[in-house]
Amino acid sequence: MNEKASSLLNRLTVILHHTRSADNVGGTARAMANMGLRRLVLAEPAAWDRARARRVATEAADLLEEAAFVPRLEDALDETTLFIATSARSREGLPHIEPEEAANVLLQEAGRGGLPSLVFGDERSGLERWVLDRAFAISRIPTSQAATSLNLAQSVMVHAYILRRAAESGFSNEPTPASSKQRDHRRPRPAGAWAQAPTAMSAEDLARLRSRAKALLLEAGYLNPQQPDRILGELERLLARAKPTDREGKLLLALVRQLEWAVGR
């Protein structure tokens, strides 16, 4: 794998939420290592058996040892500048893309200096609705209608393989028909073009903006206190599509601070 592809993949994090099987954690680490991904976060694991996970991970045991553990999924998401959720089911009202387009979005974000993530949910129930609402998009692997369920580690491998291929080629894939009207796509670009964009808004500034804007919008009565993340998620996706630079992120934070002062907060 070339150096530019490796540097892009090194900025990408795989987050597993509430994983029930140590075998799946080990299989995920193995799939990631096979394809050149290194950053693994385990959020609220339902069960953890290090020895069993290491047996399945085989040559990826070092990646497993470097994995980060966080007590809440929100903590992991606050460290990312953009994330794509995965789901085996179609969710009405939310943007769906296929893994090829997900790879494009994640690599473009990495090329801007961002810290993108791919999030996988509980083996039985998947990701909760609030996570899907907050995600930039939902990546869904097309399968036979007769058998739609994929093992967690298999799903990670499919996404990781496509990410590696896209990173090595340096070309954006064409949009899938199902998602072509959902966001602005670019034509394929020459290898190396990923790294030419301005510095992205940092994960820290993005988390700060989200927290302060949420509090402000709740106080103003704009967000539903019972389901604030539904509308907030749509606003976050809008912001993610806009791809704010570091300076633009600072301007947005300054705007929120001024609004807070104006309403006496």
Q: What is the pLDDT of residue 197?
A: 55
With 0-12 CB in 10 A as exposed, 13-18 as middle and 19+ as buried, what is 104? buried
Q: Where is the domain boundary, 148, 178, 196?
A: 196
Is there a single domain that holds both residue 231 and residue 189? no
For the segment 91-128, what is each residue's pLDDT rounded down to a tens digit? 777 788 999 999 999 999 999 888 999 999 999 889 99
Is there a single domain that holds both residue 182 and residue 229? no
Q: Which structural domain range is residue 217 located in?
A: 203-262
Q: What is the pLDDT of residue 74?
A: 93
Is there a single domain that holds both residue 138 and residue 65? yes
Mean pLDDT by 10 residues, the chain (265 residues): 91 96 96 96 91 93 94 93 88 84 93 93 90 90 85 96 93 42 38 55 83 88 87 85 84 87 76
Q: What is the pLDDT of residue 64?
A: 92
Is there a single domain that holds both residue 26 and residue 122? yes
Q: Where is the domain boundary, 172, 196, 220?
A: 196
